[in-house]
Each structure stands twice: as C-alpha cells, then as structure tokens.
Amino acid sequence: MDILTVVLSIMALGLWVAKTLVTIDLKTEVQESSGNRYIRLTYAALLNKFYEYLVSITVFTSTIKFSRLLSFQRAFMQITATMKLCFKVD
C-alpha cells in the first residue's frame, strides 16, 4: 500500500507538470493570436481530468493508510474512542 501511494504521488506530480506545460503553451497561443483564433483545449482538459482522478485515488489510499495507522497505534486509541463517541447517534 505504501509503494502504491508513492507511485501514485509521483505520477500525479508528472501529470501536474505536463498540465502546467500544456497550459503555458495554450496561454502563449492565445497571446500570439490575441484571442482571434480557435484553440483546442481538449488535451488540457483531458490532462486535468486524469490529474484529478489520480489525486483522488492518492488521497483515498493515503486515508486508508492513515486509518490503519490509527487502528494499530496505542497512542491513538484514545483519539479513536473520542471520535467514536463524538459521532455516536443515540
């Protein structure tokens, strides 16, 4: 699980860099044409969608990892019990 989270984080970083570079290229195209030319944004939108999916999966795996850490550490048992009492519905 740890290796998966690290790999997903590195992939998300790579997608962020690619998304940023594509956005910069699109910005220069808009500036060169003064906004009078049709510019396709589908590639930038696709990269953004994949980036968001990858970040959400990374956050999910990190949350599961943190939950496992909470359940196995004795120091956090009191915090877990307090959280259970806070969310307990009578």
Q: Where are the domains of the chain?
A: 2-86
pLDDT digits (tens, 9 = 90+) for 25-41: 999 999 999 888 898 99
Which range is least confidently modeled, 1-5, 39-43, 45-49, 69-73?
69-73
Give the burial class of 19: count Cβ atoms within 10 A of its Cβ; 0-12 exposed, 13-18 middle, 19 or more buried. Answer: buried
How crowded is residue 67: how many other Cβ atoms within 10 Å of its Cβ?
Answer: 11
Alpha-carbon distance of 33 to 30, in angstroms, equals: 5
pLDDT tens, position by position, 37-67: 898 999 999 999 999 999 999 999 988 888 7
Instruction: Tell me, yes or no, if the pTM score tops 0.95.
Output: no
